[in-house]
Structures are given as C-alpha cells and as structure tokens.
Chains A and B, each alone.
Chain A
Amino acid sequence: MALIEVENVSKVYRPQRGSRVLLSREGLKTLFGGAHETVTALQDISFEVERGESVGIIGSNGSGKSTLLKLLAGVTVPTTGRVTVRGRVASLLELGAGFHPLLTGRENIYLNARILGMDRAHTDSVFDPIVEFSGIGDFIDNPVNTYSSGMFVRLGFAVAVHADPDVFLIDEVLAVGDEEFQRRCRTRIAELKEQGKTIVFVSHDLNIVNMLCNRGILLSKGRMVSRKTPRETIEYYLRQIGRDTGIHRFGAGDLEAVFCHGRISLFKGETEATAPAGLNMQVQSMGQVHPSSLAEWEVTDHGPDWCQARGRYSRLPVTLLWDMRVDAAKLRWRAAIECERETTLEAVSGYSFWPAAYTQFHADLSGSFPDIVPGSRNWTSIIQNAPTCRETIAMPDVSTTLPPAVVRIEPGNDRFTLQWWNTDYMVGCRALDAGAYLPRSEAAFAKGRHELFTLEFDLGLSRADALARVEAREAERSVTSGQASALMHTGMIRISHGPRLLTSSVHLHTQFKIANLWNMSPYIQWGAAQCKGRCVCATGYSTRYPFRQHWEMEPAAAGFELRVWLEALDDIEVQEYNVSIGLDPAYDRWETPLEHGVFPEFDVCQTGWRHLNHDHSHAAYVRALGNGLPTITLDAAASDRPFQMAAINTGYHQRTRVLQAMHVAGADGCLSFSKGRHLCFRGHIRVGA
C-alpha cells in the first residue's frame, strides 16, 4: 500500500469573510450564503508516493504547490477527493514556526517534538544530537526570542529531522540560514534520502529536485501537468512556461535558449546541455552575494532568436541588463549593469553550470574533472586560468549525446578570468565561473551603465572538430624537439614520441612531502599557463600549505629541460620531494649509472609502490627501455641539489612504471625553504637516443 495516496483531489478557497466584504455592495448577500467568488487552488490531482520514494513538486508561483503540501501535512483538507497518509509526517515548512518566543530552546524542543508526534523518551534520546546539529550550544536554556533568526531556523530544522517521521515534507527550507547551514541541510537531506526516507520536496532549486528526486510532479495553475522523471519534468517546465512575464524562449536551428527569471537554460536539439541551474550571474557587494535569480526580472524586448531583459535587485541600487542572441548554434550573452548611484561591487561573475557528464576541460591547461563524490560539501576549484585565457572547452563523456561546449569570454576589463569548479554533491555539476574580483581601487561603479562581459556559448561543434581545436590549442602549450614532444597539463606533463604517448596515469608530476602529507602536483590548483618564447610555463597553488610551484619546460636536445621552482609564501619545511614520470607499462627494463634491471610483471596483491633499484646513492640519471619504444631518460645532473634516482613499479590498479628523482632531507629530517623562490629541480628529460 502506498504511503501517500492522493485521489482526485481538488481544493477550492472561498474568500475571507471580513468587514470589507460586509461593507461592500454585495455584503449582506455574501454573509448569508449568496454566490461566492471562489479560487480553485488545485484541481483533480491524483498520485501516490511509495515508501522510500522522493518526489519533487515543481511549479511557478501560484501553481498550488504549497496548497498540495498543506494537504499532505494534514493542515487542511481537500474540498473534494481523498488524501490518505499512512504514517507520521514532519513538515519542514515554516521552520520553527511553532516555537514560543518566551520559552527556552530546551522547552521548545520538547514541545515541538511532541507536536511532531514524539514521546518524551524518544525526545530524550535525540535531544543531544538535536542540540549538536543546530549548533545552539549554551544558548539552549535561553528563551528563543534571544536567538538570531538563523539559530531559530536551525533549531527547527534539527528537531524536524530528528523526529524520525515516515514522510518529510520540505518546502524551500534551503533558502534560509547562512550558506554553511544550507550546505548542512542539503547534506542531511541527501543522507535521509540515502537512508530510504520518503521525501516530498518543493523547491525552486531545480538542481536539487533533479538530484534528489525519483519523480517530478509539475503543477500548473492547480492542475497536474506531468509526473515523469525530474529531469524530463524540469525540461518540460522550462519549455512550457514560456508565456509568463520574466520568461522567454528563443532559438535558431537546433539551439534553443530559455530565459527564466535571471537564468538561461540551453537546449541542443532534444537535450538540455546546461545543468538545471543554467547560466546565471552573481554580483558581490559589501561581502554579500546577490545571485541574478534574486532580481526582479522583466523581458523588455524579444524576437524569435533574441531576448533582452532587465533584472532589478531589490537590495542593491543595481539593474542587470542582459542581451541574449542565438546565432548559428551559438548563444551570445552580453551582460551589463546599470547603477542608480555610485555602488561598490567587489566581484562580478557569469556562471554556467554543466552536467557532470562533461568530464574533460581544456583551457590554459587540459585535464579531467574529478568525480563529485557524496561527501563533497563544498565547491572545489578545478582550474583557475590566467586572465589571458579567453576560451575554454568542456568535452562530454563519449557515452552521452551532449555537445562539446566552447565558451568564449570578451571581458569588460582584464580582471576577468575563467575558472572551472566542481560543485558540491547536491548540486552535482561542473560550474564555469567567468568572474572578476575587483580590488578596492576598481570596485566603485559610478552611476550609469557599465559593460561587464560577453560570453559566447558555442554548442555547434562536432566532437572531432572540438578535439581538433583542443589539439591546436595544446600545440601552443607543448615543446617539441625532433620526434619528442611534451604537453603541459594541470600539474602533469604528457610526453609523446611522434603520435605515441609514452607516459600514463599521472604522467610527469612532482610530489612534496610536508608534515607527513604528500602534495601531488595534479591535486593542487593549476593555472596561468603561458608561453614565453620557446618556454612553456605554468603555476600551481596549494590550498593547504603556503607554497606555489612554477614549472618551466624548454626544448633541449632530444627532449626538454624542466625547471621546477618552489615559491614559499612563508617559511616552509619540506621533508622530501621528487619528480616522477609515470610510464606506459610496455617499458620493461631500467638502468642507472650504477645498476640495471627489469620491470617485473605487476603483482595483483601489490597495492603500494615497489622500488626496484637497490643502490640509492646519488646518481645522475635513471632510464627506462622497452622493445620498440624510445628510451626515456630522467637526468637531474644539471640540478644544484643532489638527487637519488629510482625505478619503481606502482600497485596493480595503476600499472605504471615510474622513474623518479628524489631529494631527501639530511640528518635533521627537514629541508627548510625560506620565504621566496627556490629552484628545486632542474633536469633534462631525453626521449630516444
């Protein structure tokens, strides 16, 4: 039997009876049961929710979403039809609304829990977790009217979540509280879903509905329009509602864009290319972030393939002016602001959200997006490009029908950078931030209009064309010498001989051991790649320790020279570091000036790395050989520092041969780097010969 059954439910509201009615012309008639003007909030709704299912209810304002939730919560009853709920319901609507302001947090917890149907023993058992989750701490015995509104809502959420009901009704709770708390709520809701709780969810955040729900119910003017998968429902929603104000649909060829209250969604043919959050903007003023979806939007002018809209912030004297045009499978999105008076904006950004099925990015550097795992609560920066980088390409996974996305920026000033992010798990997509952080001297915007940026989204390239374009870009970031070439990636260098890629896994990379933690170069932030003459340079920033790495590679005889600088932003102690090259497992022999040997087969049981040479005294080089493969040599002789050379087999799952030049600390155990730039590796990587 379904947990929730809604059968042919309609809800009709009669007007409120008050003195205004009585004093009007029809007054007395109304009072004595004459004809009423009625409002039909819901009409003939039927659906069922099984145990463990989560259902998202989507609809524009006034479509009857809240009425439906109220019916499910049992707060009111339908005019006709039947609502049956077989279990306890906790609604996260209007959190903390049942709190009495004069009672203490503790008293309110017990009262609220009782109203939600918990007995005293149950409340006792979850009391501590509630207090902990809400973060109220010692305030628990203060009256709740001394609480901040954030604490109030947190406590309400904590009680509702710990009530262990059969059904959760969630209505826009995520729009309250600070960002950190919102994240915790989202994580908590995701956990509840994973525990198999039944959730009915109403949200404007289509991303969350998409992520969280098995099914989406679309309401329009009180009627149920669709109940399919969330993604289909959301697409349908975006395409259907194109007639309201603040929303416009436009397109050309097979590229269609939907502008909807400060958000643009892109459809390529039948598929939605952008994630549900679409393209949007944010401005930051006085430390407060104002997303474009909070502005009051109005479509000022539109045509079949273009649209102009104005969005006025209610909390900022700023109006966003967007001009969107679709032309030849490209969307050009021009954004400007109009200030009513002088305003300080510390940051402006144009965001675009892409589904997680986009797995590769190409910009300053190329790389793969890491997976977004359930534990990720924060956004993680993937790459911050140099201001000179004006174009980035996101490549979708081969298995999808998504088009490659080429994004170009024409910035209004040279502060704009393109930065790729992985969002948190609940949002679950890739975010491209085309944004500018403005220093104090540039943050003041005078009264009047200011152009910000134009972003161009090109979804018309075939996969092959896009890859060709990527290769052309990559050629700028590689050095070649004869047959050998080396390509700078995010924290890695890929080495090829002619068309053949010799490196694998993490390719050439560095590792710095600081405070017993290995900092691998692919996992720090990379960006600012550029060519200086024959040199290709890139910079990586650690978010954990105060250091940067600067890599320079320059063509040299039969290979290239690599220089690695460590820029300590503060005095820093490094225990040991190395430069390693991960090689194709087809390499089967190694040699150093002191000894030589073979790379053995990979052992299934082996998980760690296995050193193959025994003599670790300082040597000039280590080299790998393979039948039909060009010999590859890692030669650190040019370094000022002494290096130990090692040939290594990785564990079975990586199956990579590794050549490593390592520099270890002396007897005192630490290498101290004072604040400043230090050349810590200078070596020659020879391919062939």
Chain B
Amino acid sequence: MTQAFYAHNQQGRVLRMVPDVIRSRALLYDLFWKDLRAKYRRAIIGLLWAVLQPVLMMLILTFVFGYLLRDLMGSRIGGAQHSYAVFLLAGLVPWQFLVVGLTGATNSIVANQDLIKKVYFPRETVPLAAILYSVLNFAIGFVTFLVVFSVLEGPGLLGVGVVFAPVVFAVQLALITGLGLVCSALNVLYRDVTYMVEVALAFGFYATPIIYDLPHDLPPWVYRIYMLNPMAHLVEAYRQALLMNRFPDAAHLLWPLAAAAVMLVLGAWVFRRIAPTFADHM
C-alpha cells in the first residue's frame, strides 16, 4: 500500500468528503453499532425504548391537548377525520427524528474525542453514525405510528400515502445531515452550540405544527415568517402523505429541499474547514 493514506492538505478538501465517506462506510457502520450497543447495553428492555418513547410522549400529549385542553385547542386540532393521537404521532415521529439526529450529531465529535485525539480517520463518520442512529429511531417510530394508526382507525385507512412518506423522509434526512455537520463541527470550537441547539429545539417544538394544525388563521406576514421553518413544511408534508393519502404539495417539499441543499453544502464546507484541527480544541 504505497498510495498516500493521508497528506494533511487533503484533509481540508470539501470535495473529498463524499469519496472519503464511501471508502469508510464499514467504519461508519461499526461506529453506528457501537453507539447502539453502548446505549442499550445496560437497559433491560433495550431498543424497546425507541418504541416506548414516542408512545409515552403521544399518550401524555394526547391527554394534555386532546383531553384537558381540548376546548382551548378548538379547531386547531386538525385532521378532523382522525383521532388526535394519530394526528399527533404523525408530527411527533418526524420531530423526534430531528431532535435525536441533531442533538446526537452535535455532541458526537466531543463525545468521541478519545478516538479523535488518537487516530486519523475521516471525521464525518462520527456525526453520520449519530444520524444513522436517529434513522433507526425514526424507523421504529414510523412502525409504531402504523401500528397505532391501524389499531385506532383500522388498517384499511392506510393508503398509498405510506409510499410517499419516504420522499419526505429523504428531504428531512438531507436537512438533518447538513445541520448535524455544521453543529457538530462548531460545537468543537464553541461548546455553546450544544445549549443553543437544545434551546432551539425546545422552541421549535412549539413553532412547528406538531400538537396543532397549520395555523392558517395567523396574519399573513406572521404566517409567512412561521412558514420559513422548514420543519413546518415537512411535518405538513408527512401529514398530507400519511393522513390524507396524497402526494404532498410541492410547496411543502421544495422549500425544505432548498434549505437542505444549502445546509448540506454549508455543512460540508464548515466541517471540512474545522475537522483537521479538531484535536487541537479538545
């Protein structure tokens, strides 16, 4: 093996990111398994938590908003033909995908600093492994949704929309990846990023139509600002696919897609700029 395994000036190149990741896909997979096993090794019911978490959250939110505060919510509870639990879960599962993916990726580099300080390997694999974990989490959440849907509404109502969901998923994955790359790299320089992400996600939970339907009744300029949030579009797109059984509106896909593209490019650039000197900041 005489080819240059690394020359330092190659490490910073944005364009080499894709081939580097493809070459180290086995490592990516191993890191993913490490995260997974380490996370659930000491937990008695293990991976079942990925199911229990959205279900419990659905139960409590249904209790609060669908029962206690039902009068207050009024017409904001959308999807009149569906039960609140199903409506809620359709928004909650994609949101959890973002939460798990983004927080996981943001902390991943710092959490793996022992490794980063020790050996050279393509650094992208670390946040990508964290995002891969969130994908698994989403898959489990999605299955949970299908089960809850079938139980509450009968499986007959599940339609062709399930096939459209992956399209939305792909756009969301790209968005999370881009955000994850930016945040994980910046978090090495400024640990403030972790806290900022936490605050932003807490805020975002209410600024995204999860517990309520799209607020069409807002003043138009407020609504426009509201809809700058790509997650608002994505959640609506999931609902259109899963609950209304139709291909999501293009508007709800194109804006997040544009955001995802920008974030991916920005993410790759920021990450590659900072990654070669990660070890200096640990």
B87 to chain A, nearest CB (A): 38
| B34:A89 contact, CB within 8 angstroms | no
B91 to chain A, nearest CB (A): 33
* Contact A75 to B118, CB < 8 A, known contacts A16-B281, A114-B27: yes
Tell whether B41 is near chain A: CB-to-CB under 8 Å. yes
* 77-102 of chain A: CB within 8 A of chain B: 77-78, 82-91, 93-94, 97-98, 100, 102
Q: Which one of B1-9, B196-204, B241-249 is at the interface?
A: B1-9
> Bound state CA distance, A88 and B7, in angstroms?
12
Q: Per-residue CB proximity of A52-91 to B under 8 Å, as 1/0?
A: 0000000000000000001101111110001111111111
Q: Which one of B75-83, B109-117, B261-269 is at the interface?
A: B109-117
* Contact A83 to B41, CB < 8 A, known contacts A75-B116, A114-B27: no
Q: Per-residue CB proximity of A100-139 to B under 8 Å, as 1/0?
A: 1011000100110011110110000000000000000000
| B42:A85 contact, CB within 8 angstroms | no
Interface centre among B34, B38, B115, B120 (most CB of A within 10 A): B120
* Contact A74 to B120, CB < 8 A, known contacts A88-B1, A102-B38: yes
Tell whether B37 is near chain A: CB-to-CB under 8 Å. yes
| B interface size (C-beta, 8 A) | 37
Q: Which one of B135-143, B176-184, B224-232, B272-280 is at the interface?
A: B272-280
| A111:B276 contact, CB within 8 angstroms | no
Tell whether A235 is near chain B: CB-to-CB under 8 Å. no
Give chain B residues whose Cβ lies under 8 Å from the Cβ of A115.
27, 115, 119, 121
* Contact A75 to B120, CB < 8 A, known contacts A13-B280, A102-B37, A110-B30: yes
Give chain B residues whose Cβ lies under 8 Å from the Cβ of A107.
34, 37
| B115:A85 contact, CB within 8 angstroms | no
Give chain B residues whose Cβ lies under 8 Å from the Cβ of A102.
37-38, 41-42
Q: Per-residue CB proximity of A574-598 to B under 8 Å, as 1/0?
A: 0000000000000000000000000
| B279:A93 contact, CB within 8 angstroms | no
| B1:A98 contact, CB within 8 angstroms | no
* Contact A78 to B8, CB < 8 A, known contacts A13-B280, A86-B2, A103-B34: yes
Q: Which residue of chain B has the shortest Cβ distance to A120 in the bound complex? A: B26
* Contact A74 to B6, CB < 8 A, known contacts A89-B120, A107-B37, A111-B30: yes
Give chain B residues whose Cβ lies under 8 Å from the Cβ of A93.
118
Q: Which residue of chain A has the shortest Cβ distance to B115 in the bound complex? A: A98
* Contact A75 to B8, CB < 8 A, known contacts A17-B190, A70-B279: no
Give chain A residues whose Cβ lies under 8 Å from the Cβ of B119.
73-75, 89-91, 98, 115-116
* Contact A76 to B277, CB < 8 A, known contacts A100-B38, A119-B26: yes
* Contact A71 to B114, CB < 8 A, known contacts A103-B41, A115-B119: no
Give chain B residues whose Cβ lies under 8 Å from the Cβ of A91.
118-119
> Bound state CA distance, A70 and B277, in angstroms?
11
* 20-42 of chain B: CB within 8 A of chain A: 26-27, 30-31, 34, 37-38, 41-42
Tell whether B189 is near chain A: CB-to-CB under 8 Å. yes
Tell whether B161 is near chain A: CB-to-CB under 8 Å. no
Interface centre among B30, B117, B118 (most CB of A within 10 A): B118
A575 to chain B, nearest CB (A): 57
| B6:A85 contact, CB within 8 angstroms | yes
| A143:B279 contact, CB within 8 angstroms | no
Give chain A residues whose Cβ lies under 8 Å from the Cβ of B279.
70, 75-76
Give chain B residues whose Cβ lies under 8 Å from the Cβ of A87.
1-2, 5
Give chain A residues whose Cβ lies under 8 Å from the Cβ of B172.
none
Give chain B residues whose Cβ lies under 8 Å from the Cβ of A1.
2
Q: Which of A74, A88, A111, A119 sits near B8, CB closer than 8 Å?
A: A74
| A86:B5 contact, CB within 8 angstroms | yes
Q: Which of B31, B34, B118, B277 sits near A94, CB closer than 8 Å?
A: B118
A497 to chain B, nearest CB (A): 68
> Bound state CA distance, A556 and B159, in angstroms?
118
| B115:A103 contact, CB within 8 angstroms | no
Tell whether B11 is near chain A: CB-to-CB under 8 Å. yes
Binding site for A on B (CB under 8 A): 1-9, 11-12, 26-27, 30-31, 34, 37-38, 41-42, 114-121, 189-191, 276-281
Binding site for B on A (CB under 8 A): 1, 13, 16-18, 70-71, 73-78, 82-91, 93-94, 97-98, 100, 102-103, 107, 110-111, 114-117, 119-120, 143, 166
A-B contact list, 14 entries, CB within 8 Å: A16-B281, A18-B191, A71-B8, A74-B120, A77-B9, A83-B8, A89-B119, A102-B41, A103-B37, A103-B38, A114-B27, A115-B119, A115-B121, A166-B1
Q: What would 20 more interface pairs be, CB under 8 Å, given A77-B11, A82-B7, A115-B119?
A: A13-B280, A17-B190, A71-B8, A74-B6, A74-B8, A75-B118, A75-B119, A75-B120, A75-B279, A76-B279, A82-B9, A87-B5, A89-B119, A97-B118, A102-B38, A111-B34, A114-B30, A115-B121, A119-B26, A143-B41
